[in-house]
Structure 1
């Protein structure tokens, strides 16, 4: 789900009072302590899990035995799509949208119990991994208890009827009205509950730009006092970083990659990244992906969008080596071909394309362990009209990325200065050279030292 921005205000749980005017002699209220972003956020590799589809059982418990394989693939953070009970009123599809939340403090009984969820969080932490929840602050299900107990918490039309979010076709949900401070307090308290009670490690916040900025500023600041967290906004407005989010969606590079695969020149990708640097704060992290639950449900599976298995690998090789944090959507690592409808529980055939796991393990391992990719500079190269090429570099480490986004062989000619010292292909151990032929959707990821030998 996605849309653009609204602005308003918020107060955190236990602090939702009407504004007052203090006397000049009153002591100033202490500010919340500044909390630094934990290193694991910047170094993360995210993996998005649809509990409905990830296993045959579709439960929390069934995910636990799969965690070791995800860790082996260098995944560090599990993002669970919404786990709450789904609304029944005006439900879409057979199972309804997981983004139609009926109770913020409960789990969908189809997934298990709260104790089952706790077991999943504990198992994730035991493996040195983290887990974040998908959170929907903009709206609730139409049969959420608040619609009856507190109808004034919702946006209403002139007749007093609760409405769905303006400008959308989300008729199965009810739009929350953040003009009411009680909404701020209740929503913030619900988020706090999952951090304090279950030790979740953060939130991916759905349509974050449709929720008032001041709500996020106050709530996220207070949540960070509880423990180190990852806070990911579904949105790409720069103000979301000022509001307290670590990560925003890299839709710019997602769409640029699709355009390049459709024939646009690679320079168009570089232009998007250059524009991004001017728009966002220097410490802003961007989520890099070639698909996610929205794209797979409403558009096509990645294997279709990028012209087959090899094309998908090439696109992900770019996404995972751009500045930012890479995301893998469940089923992507076996090139699952189906559009996974959000309102159903379509299962993933994990027997497909077993050789792809080796590719993703090598790629994500590089992303995870390379300082040049995690924090290095980005420098595009001219290597051919239809070749994506750039250098990522930090201190003495250099990674040279060369990818063919075309279904035909491309001749690569690199500038001599592109080569560092002892640079070898991550996949083949072949030594880097300045001229070579690159097969259709071919990939070369050379890693070595930044300085050339004399």
Structure 2
């Protein structure tokens, strides 16, 4: 920092500025700092921000926050992908100092003679301002200067024109003794980095044929999987995540339900990557050729889906790297290569990589692999278990990839200790899986989401109710209402969410003693009758499509920082809202956590958080049912898990009561819609 005034506690700053904060194009990014000065003269602050092209953006003045705290606030809205910088400046504001003094003296009854020095100071300041304001306002400033010097005028008319310039000179201030703080970085991604809806399926299951007594099983292909793309798009998803599509190892291949022994026709786990056919840069021959893959990616794009690939940095024992680069693995005391373990779990079909023996060689090869798929049109990678690889490696890799293509995004699949999950976000991961699945009460969910909002400068959550590895007991035993409840929570609390295929069919049978699916698709083909389920009303797809439609149509749901919780007197219910000041769009949600019983609750809404005054009445439109209600700060709600476990409201303009008509001659029935949902 250089200059006269202290500038402290700047935000956003990740690890004291060691790493860039995160934002997306068009996101409203709050900037704040603590700045103060000696004495009583006025202080001003502003943000100087530079785009990736090095060009400056419009002057952004900061406003003071809570009185007495010396905290200054502004917002910036980046308009391009890349590496931005911002700097907070503090300065002496002579106009504000003059305005404050003159206003107080005039109010105290002092005359022109007593204000002679103040009038002269006003002329000095406004003369300096003439070269700062837009050309169209210069005459206003000159007129105010002339008025200050016109002794024929009464004092109020001498100072009045100058005082009327307050708004203009706030935007175009005279700045003296400018102090420049330290620069801070913000990495700005494309919008999908913050707002996205993911869907995961195994291409080999789509169009697969199971074995019969007369014929062996047959894997699905990229061509057969493409037939499923319209159905995924119709549910409103925009990212299609594929588990690994590479050759699968044959050595120590796992059988159904993680069995240690595989039969000759068992397909194995896609995460056991590598075989004679190739490694991480190859495709499983059963799925198709490189051209088939390109056709699949193109078909997905035609229906609005972007394909995300799995980046799983581990190898099957017969991966080509094992023979060519044994130094990239860990050798045990008996000379064998160590397979993966997460005690008591064992993964005999997977060898973890060792990044310490030949760091330059292994880094170069992984970068080559990632850029190979970027060259094939893949711009999103879901990274498997990143917390088991060195953090400096990820920081390097993500930086190298984004230097080639800044649109590439990385989702961290790391269900581990909080510090590590937050650390992965800080070093560059675009999004992160979270503990959402295990937050099963309203109080737990609220506390966790508030923690995530506090980390929004560097960690973007992606909420998944299920994955191939995770079938939480709430879904095992909660029945169809719980599937709706968890989808509402995931889709409307977080700007990014995802589902693993089968969720919409209410798949809920777990392997005994495990938190994962019985007959898990990780180890076997699992074709599904999507059309039949839809035709017979056994699919949640229409409900999911509604959630994603509402998400797309409401800008408030595209953000994380604007999540606000409201009080409700039933611990089984959670009430929250998101408001977008730029568009005036507001979404208000009340969701039950009880999938078995009816729950009632009474809200106490934070009206300013909804963009309303405390006593406003307003209309809410339930996007799930089409019903309309007249609401205010206090409202009663009733949620039935089998009929409607949640309200998804969009707010309409404040309710204006109709003129009061003559009193009816008979008692009218109570209009419960005004008081309850």
Q: State TM-score, norm by structure 2.
A: 0.57
Offset, 1:158? 2.5
Kept in 1, the 8 Å contact 2:566–2:605? The answer is no
Kept in 2, the 8 Å contact 1:165–1:174? The answer is yes
Structure 1 equivalent of residue 351 of structure 2: 174
Structure 2 equivalent of residue 321 of structure 1: 492
Q: Aligned equivalents of 2:468 and 2:296: distance in 1?
A: 21
Offset, 1:375? 1.1
Structure 2 equivalent of residue 391 of structure 1: 577
Structure 1 residues 161 and 370, CA, compared in 2 at 3 Å: closer, same or farther? same
Q: Secondary structure at the match of 1:46?
A: strand
Deviations 1:67-123 (A, max 9, x none): 222222211111101100111111111322111100112111221222111111111
Q: Secondary structure at the match of 2:545?
A: helix
Aligned counterpart for 1:83 among listed residues 245, 262, 268? 245
Structure 1 residues 241 and 385, CA, compared in 2 at 3 Å: closer, same or farther? closer
Kept in 1, the 8 Å contact 2:308–2:380? The answer is yes
Between Structure 1 and Structure 2, how many residues are aligned? 407
Structure 2 equivalent of residue 232 of structure 1: 411
Structure 2 equivalent of residue 381 of structure 1: 566
Structure 1 residues 152 and 411, CA, compared in 2 at 3 Å: closer, same or farther? same
Structure 1 equivalent of residue 588 of structure 2: 400
Q: Aligned equivalents of 2:288 and 2:587: distance in 1?
A: 44
Q: Structure 2 matches for 1:140-151, cutoff 5 A?
A: 140-151=315-326
Q: Structure 2 matches for 1:211-226, cutoff 5 A?
A: 211-226=389-404
Whether 2:607 is the aligned partner of 1:415: answer no
Kept in 2, the 8 Å contact 1:47–1:77? The answer is yes
Structure 1 residues 144 and 408, CA, compared in 2 at 3 Å: closer, same or farther? same
Q: Structure 2 matches for 1:242-281, cutoff 5 A?
A: 242-251=426-435, 253-257=436-440, 260=441, 266-278=442-454, 280-281=455-456
Kept in 1, the 8 Å contact 2:621–2:652? The answer is no
Q: Aligned equivalents of 1:372 and 1:451: distance in 2?
A: 18
Kept in 1, the 8 Å contact 2:426–2:459? The answer is no
Q: Structure 2 matches for 1:350-369, cutoff 5 A?
A: 350=530, 351-352=532-533, 353-354=537-538, 356-369=540-553
Which ranges of 4 or more aligned residues in structure 1 deviate by more than 4 Å? 416-420, 449-454
Q: Secondary structure at the match of 2:340?
A: coil
Offset, 1:283? 4.3
Offset, 1:387? 1.1
Kept in 2, the 8 Å contact 1:78–1:130? The answer is yes
Kept in 2, the 8 Å contact 1:254–1:289? The answer is yes
Kept in 1, the 8 Å contact 2:434–2:461? The answer is yes
Q: Aligned equivalents of 2:438 and 2:600: distance in 1?
A: 25
Offset, 1:409? 0.7
Structure 2 equivalent of residue 263 of structure 1: none
Q: State TM-score, norm by structure 1.
A: 0.84
Aligned counterpart for 1:160 among listed residues 335, 346, 353? 335
Identify which range, 120-129 or 37-46, moves more after superposition.
120-129
Aligned counterpart for 1:133 among listed residues 281, 295, 309? 309
Q: Structure 2 matches for 1:316-355, cutoff 5 A?
A: 316-338=487-509, 339=517, 340-341=519-520, 342-350=522-530, 351-352=532-533, 353-354=537-538
Q: Secondary structure at the match of 2:245?
A: coil
Identify which range, 371-380 or 330-339, moves more after superposition.
330-339
Q: Aligned equivalents of 2:587 and 2:287: distance in 1?
A: 42
Q: Which has the larger radius of gyration?
A: 2
Q: Secondary structure at the match of 2:541?
A: helix
Offset, 1:400? 1.1
Q: Secondary structure at the match of 1:225?
A: helix
- Give unmatched runs, 5+ long, in structure 1: 1-32, 261-265
Q: Secondary structure at the match of 2:469?
A: helix
Kept in 2, the 8 Å contact 1:238–1:281? The answer is no
Structure 1 residues 416 and 344, CA, compared in 2 at 3 Å: closer, same or farther? closer
CA RMSD of aligned residues (A): 2.2
Q: Secondary structure at the match of 1:293?
A: coil
Q: Secondary structure at the match of 1:320?
A: helix
Structure 1 residues 108 and 453, CA, compared in 2 at 3 Å: closer, same or farther? farther
Deviations 1:343-394 (A, max 9, x none): 1112223222455221111011112332111115122222222112111222
Q: Aligned equivalents of 2:490 and 2:288: distance in 1?
A: 34
Offset, 1:449? 4.4
